Amino acid sequence: MSAPREEPARRRGPALDAAVVGGGMVGAAAALALARAGFAVALLEARAPAPWRAEDEVDLRVVGLAPSSIALLDGLGVWTSIRDSRAGPYAQMHVWDAESGAAIHFDAADEGRDLLGCIVENNLVQWRLWQALEGAGVQRLCPAEVARFEARGDRVQIELADGAVLAARLLVAADGAGSPLRAQAGIATSGRDYGQRAVVAHVATERPHGRTAWQRFLPGGPLAFLPLADGRSSIVWSLPDDEAARVLALADEAFRDALGLASDFRLGRIVGTTKRAAFPLRLQLAERYQAERFVLLGDAAHAVHPLAGQGVNLGLRDVAELRDVLAGARAAGRDIAAGHVLRRYARRRRSADTLDARGFDALARIYAWQAPPLVAARALGVRLLDRCLPLKRALAAHAAG
């Protein structure tokens, strides 16, 4: 599908309400949410996602979708197909400290819920969203790459790498943690490199996962076992860079032994494993989420430690907030990309995202404490939290969105 050339775009004014750049889970959800809300939308993506097929091995990249994310996807008309394809629901979460043994347990039944969330493959979510875009009236421009953009009065003019030009009232950057559009907009980031990598694999265990997400805090970083729909668990093992390289190089049998020991054999022996991969970990927050006729969302705005499994959920909350703010502005007869409108979105989401990101970072720092008095203080805090039902419920409600 070709984009309009520069002169026609100038004659007709903005042809689009929003142009979303980035077709990952968050970008595709944003394009679909805005289209379902009645906006004229185009999605620009360099590479179309590979089709998801049930006969393929489970993707190594998975996400723990919180109830708020499931509700958003359900409202967009894609959750049922995701759930019925391959989703691993979990109703309980057990978190414990390797140093002290102090533990905290969450149960959906305590919150009057059926589930705490679902473990789903990234590429399944992306593919179902991608399939829904055309039926919702979203123009899918793929392959497409933004060369430059410029705000001009009531529109932003977007020049593509192939020379095509389109115009929109708003440009939405969902182009990942390394966001070229964020750099073009002159928006800086702050944060820190954790010096860690997350080693991921899918493993079969001697005992069933029991629809429970398990997480153990080790001196080198947290280890999570996330329940998959096929009875296996997806592991996310955060390790210092050199240790991650060593673990990646282990033979399968040695890896299974090391993983069983690291998990305290909570699910028994590890009896099978897929290939492994690893991803670098860092904390990154955009200094602002908004520029003239331009907003950030998803990883382009924030990247967080995976210990709480909230990265994609934060991005999908960005999507819901942006949709609601733009719909409210339109209903009031305002320019949907006026500065004061976009600042409302940016203020709300940056405040919430920063609170969560700094909270996850603080948790990572606290669990890195090794001095015995600090370990004892941490253990006391965890045990008190596990006994304080109102606070536990507040934490569970926040995680649920």
Read out DSSP for 294-334? EEE-GGGTEE--GGG--HHHHHHHHHHHHHHHHHHHHHTT-
Give tens-digit pLDDT for 341-394: 999 999 999 988 888 877 777 776 666 667 677 667 766 666 766 666 666 666
H/E segment holding residue 284 = strand 277-286
**Could you tell me if 129 and 29 are in contact, meaning their C-beta atoms sit under 8 angstroms apart?**
yes
Lookup result for tokens 């400290």: 97
**Could you tell me if 170 and 295 are in contact, meaning their C-beta atoms sit under 8 angstroms apart?**
yes
Tell me which of 241 and 111 has the higher pLDDT: 241
Whether the per-residue pLDDT at 12 is higher than 60: the answer is: no
For residue 265, is it within any domain? Answer: yes
Helix intervals (H) in 332-371:
339-366
Q: How far is CA 394 from CA 116, 140, 185, 309, in A?
A: 13, 40, 37, 17
**Spatial CA neighbour of 212 closest among 308, 105, 113, 125:** 105
CATH of the domain at 206: 3.50.50.60
Residue type, 245: A
The answer, as to whether pTM is greater than 0.85, is yes
Say which range, 25-34, 45-54, 104-113, 273-282, has the weakest mean pLDDT: 104-113
For residue 57, is it within any domain? Answer: yes
For residue 240, is it within any domain? Answer: yes
Lookup result for tokens 């055309």: 134
**β-pair partners for 167:** 157
Whether the per-residue pLDDT at 25 is higher than 60: the answer is: yes
CA dist 321 and 353 (Å) reads: 12
- What is residue 1's predicted lDDT score, i.e. its pLDDT? 37
Mean pLDDT, to the nearest integer, of 228-249? Answer: 96
**Could you tell me if 65 and 117 are in contact, meaning their C-beta atoms sit under 8 angstroms apart?**
yes
What length does the chain have?
401
**Could you tell me if 235 and 185 are in contact, meaning their C-beta atoms sit under 8 angstroms apart?**
no
- What is residue 385's predicted lDDT score, i.e. its pLDDT? 66
Tally of helices (H runs) and strands (E runs) in the chain: 12, 20
Whether the per-residue pLDDT at 6 is higher than 50: the answer is: no
For residue 1, is it within any domain? Answer: no
Whether the per-residue pLDDT at 49 is higher than 80: the answer is: yes
CA dist 258 and 252 (Å) reads: 10
Assign 97 a pLDDT band (cuts: 50, 70, 90).
confident
**Could you tell me if 45 and 141 are in contact, meaning their C-beta atoms sit under 8 angstroms apart?**
yes
- 218 three-state secondary structure: strand
Tell me which of 167 and 367 has the higher pLDDT: 167
Tell me which of 358 and 175 has the higher pLDDT: 175
DSSP state, residue 355 = H
HSE-up of residue 38 (Cα within 13 Å, Cβ side): 8
Q: How many domains are contained in the chain?
A: 1
Say which range, 79-88, 91-100, 119-128, 305-314, has the weakest mean pLDDT: 305-314
- What is residue 399's predicted lDDT score, i.e. its pLDDT? 61
Q: Which residues contact 397 (CB under 8 A, 6 or more apart)?
A: 111
DSSP state, residue 168 = E
H/E segment holding residue 56 = none
For residue 274, is it within any domain? Answer: yes
For residue 133, is it within any domain? Answer: yes
Mean pLDDT, to the nearest integer, of 104-109? Answer: 87
- 262 three-state secondary structure: helix
Whether the per-residue pLDDT at 45 is higher than 50: the answer is: yes
Percent of the chain with pLDDT over 70: 87
For residue 28, is it within any domain? Answer: yes
**Spatial CA neighbour of 165 closest among 366, 313, 11, 316:** 11
DSSP secondary structure of 81-145: HHHHHHEEEE-EEEEEETTT--EEEEEGGGGT-S-SEEEEEHHHHHHHHHHHHHHTT-EEE-S--
**β-pair partners for 104:** 95
Q: How large is the greatest C-alpha to C-alpha distance in the chain, in angstroms?
A: 71
Whether the per-residue pLDDT at 112 is higher than 90: the answer is: no
Q: What range does the domain containing 363 cover?
A: 6-400
- What is residue 390's predicted lDDT score, i.e. its pLDDT? 63
For residue 81, is it within any domain? Answer: yes
Mean pLDDT, rounded, of the chain:
89
- What is residue 111's predicted lDDT score, i.e. its pLDDT? 78
